[in-house]
Amino acid sequence: MISKHKSYAGIGDIFTYILSIYDYIIHLGEGIEFPGNVLNLISMILLLGLPFFLTFATIPSLLVIDITKKHQSKYIRSIGKKIGIRNEVKISVELKSYEPD
């Protein structure tokens, strides 16, 4: 049976991200008359898109890993045969429920 406990770590990340964006906008609004703040506006736009940029940047690497998984497995098995490993081991995982005392 799968554990019924839930994790809320991502909520803190989202909350911190929203607060830092809010703080950035407040500080940008206080110093809008300074000419150098145009660059701050551009960096704020990039900061808003950061979660999306990171997500889209990982997609190609995940695709490459999926495509090369079979080749990696064959390569590791060939190395194993060279050093004398001839048999495969099949491992099964069984989930059991845990009842705390």
Domain membership flag for residue 47: yes
Q: Which of 31-40, 68-77, 85-94 has the lowest mean pLDDT?
A: 31-40
Domain membership flag for residue 19: yes
Q: What is the pTM of this model?
A: 0.44
Domain membership flag for residue 93: no
pLDDT in tens, 35-58: 666 677 777 788 888 888 888 999
Distance CA 58, CA 49 (A): 15
Task: Taking residues 79-93, report their average pLDDT.
Answer: 85
State the total domains in the chain: 1
Domain membership flag for residue 32: yes
Domain membership flag for residue 24: yes
Task: Taking residues 52-65, report their average pLDDT.
Answer: 90
Distance CA 101, CA 83 (A): 48
What percent of the chain stands above pLDDT 70?
A: 82
Task: Taking residues 16-31, report their average pLDDT.
Answer: 80
Q: How confident is residue 64, by pLDDT bands cut at 50, 70 and 90?
A: very high
